Amino acid sequence: ILGMFSELKFPVPWGHVAVKAWGPSEGHPVLCLHGWLDNANTFDKLIPLLPRDCYYVAMDFSGHGLSSHRPAGSPYHFLDYVSDVRRVAAALQWRRFTLMGHSMAFLFLSYCFMSPQFCFLYPEMVDKLILLENLGFLLAPEDTEAWLKSKRMVIDRLLSLEAKQQTPKAHSPEAALQRLLEANRHLTAEGGAILLQRGATETPAGLVFNRDMRVRTQSRESFTVEQCVKLLQKIQDRVLIIIAKDGLLVPHKLDSRNHFVKGLREAFESTLKEHIQLVEVPGSHFVHLNEPEMVSGIISNFLTAQNARPRL
């Protein structure tokens, strides 16, 4: 029964990576990756609606949910998250699996950029890629000065956080939920409560968020539209991208700075249309958590369909 899940922890040099698992362990493997400052619970409402013959593992990235924070003095780099995925796959002894990830990478620094980047680095390990409200790339700065400024900001923010060394603030359950909802206007109260179950720890003083504040300072990788297209063409198997009509990737809702999104979507809908299935559904950025029925059928069909595309 997919409503039942198990909790697992895999050791890493700085502690452990925590995961939730649903379904039969001998089933087709699907690794699920959450978005920025979220955790594995983001898939709680969706996975019970998906095919029952798959084994779904949703991991907490380092510094999120129930996973260990990286050691003191260590920044969070995107490539380190790719290694998190590789470590979990190795611990599970998975040689080939499906990747499913939520959220945009280039506007909110979320980690589903890890999904396509892992595919580029380990194409032989991924049979299908599912991106929820995510086009998979970070916008490259338009000039060298902007690039330098972004890198300097990462270092300065990290050093500032280390200098403050503030004790995590405790909140009442109501205040913690309100804080989460204010930061994520696309979340419902029910969805926020689900994320809080894994995203905060109860203490005598109240709820304390589990996330490591250093994740806000991570160093990013960025690409031009042309580079994105070339990289996407390297993915050996099928890709499903689901965009919510009231989400964060609808072209007419984007400001002029996000011409990158429009250009990338045009590439998906023209040059890459034979490689990538792009679907729009009703709902918001957290449609998979708020209204999972909107996407569960599409994802189920994609998971069960046979790969027709020849390997490159």
- Give the pLDDT confidence score for residue 140 in this predicted structure: 60
User: pLDDT-based confidence at 14, cuts 50/70/90?
Assistant: very high
- Give the pLDDT confidence score for residue 297 in this predicted structure: 97
Please report whether residue 312 resides in a domain: no
Please report whether residue 211 resides in a domain: no
CATH code, 292: 3.40.50.1820
Single pTM value for the model = 0.87
Model confidence at 113: pLDDT above 60 = no
Q: Could you tell me what percent of the chain has a pLDDT over 70?
A: 79
Please report whether residue 136 resides in a domain: yes
- Give the pLDDT confidence score for residue 236 in this predicted structure: 56
Active site includes 103?
Answer: yes
User: pLDDT-based confidence at 139, cuts 50/70/90?
Assistant: low
Mean pLDDT of 178-187: 93
CA atoms of 124 and 80, how far apart (whole Å): 20
User: pLDDT-based confidence at 96, cuts 50/70/90?
Assistant: very high
Q: How many domains does the chain have?
A: 1
Which residue has better confidence, 35 or 301?
301
Model confidence at 110: pLDDT above 50 = no
User: pLDDT-based confidence at 106, cuts 50/70/90?
Assistant: very low
Q: What is the number of alpha carbons within 13 Å of residue 102 lying toward its C-beta?
A: 28
Model confidence at 307: pLDDT above 70 = no
Please report whether residue 215 resides in a domain: no
CA atoms of 295 and 234, how far apart (whole Å): 26
The closest of 186, 32, 187, 38 to 114, measured between CA atoms, is 32
| Average pLDDT of every residue of the chain | 84
Q: What is the pLDDT of residues 205-217, one digit of tens each?
A: 999 999 998 887 7
Q: Which of 103, 222, 284, 296 is the catalytic position?
A: 103
Q: What are phi and psi of 295, to 5 degrees?
A: -120, -15
Token pair of 251 as six digits? 């072209």
For 219, which DSSP code?
A: B
> 15-22 and 5-12 as β-strands: parallel, antiparallel, unpaired?
antiparallel
Residue with tokens 């362990």: 25
User: pLDDT-based confidence at 80, cuts 50/70/90?
Assistant: confident
The closest of 70, 69, 134, 142 to 108, measured between CA atoms, is 134
Model confidence at 305: pLDDT above 60 = yes
Helices 114-121 & 225-232 angle (0-180, nearest 10): 60
- Give the pLDDT confidence score for residue 124 in this predicted structure: 86
Q: What are phi and psi of 136, to 5 degrees?
A: 90, 0
Please report whether residue 230 resides in a domain: yes
Please report whether residue 213 resides in a domain: no
Please report whether residue 243 resides in a domain: yes
> 276-281 and 238-244 as β-strands: parallel, antiparallel, unpaired?
parallel
Which of 141-145, 250-254, 287-291 has the weakest average pLDDT? 250-254
CA atoms of 108 and 293, how far apart (whole Å): 25
Question: Strand ranges (DSSP E) for the chain?
Answer: 5-12, 15-22, 28-33, 54-59, 97-102, 126-132, 170-171, 200-203, 206-209, 238-244, 276-281
Q: Supply the range of the domain harboring residue 227.
A: 5-143+221-304
- Give the pLDDT confidence score for residue 42 in this predicted structure: 96
Please report whether residue 154 resides in a domain: no
Secondary element (H or E) of residue 159: helix 144-164
User: pLDDT-based confidence at 271, cuts 50/70/90?
Assistant: low
Which of 10-24, 86-100, 222-236 has the weakest average pLDDT? 222-236
Q: What is the pLDDT of residues 21-50, one digit of tens each?
A: 999 999 999 999 998 889 999 999 999 999
Model confidence at 285: pLDDT above 80 = yes
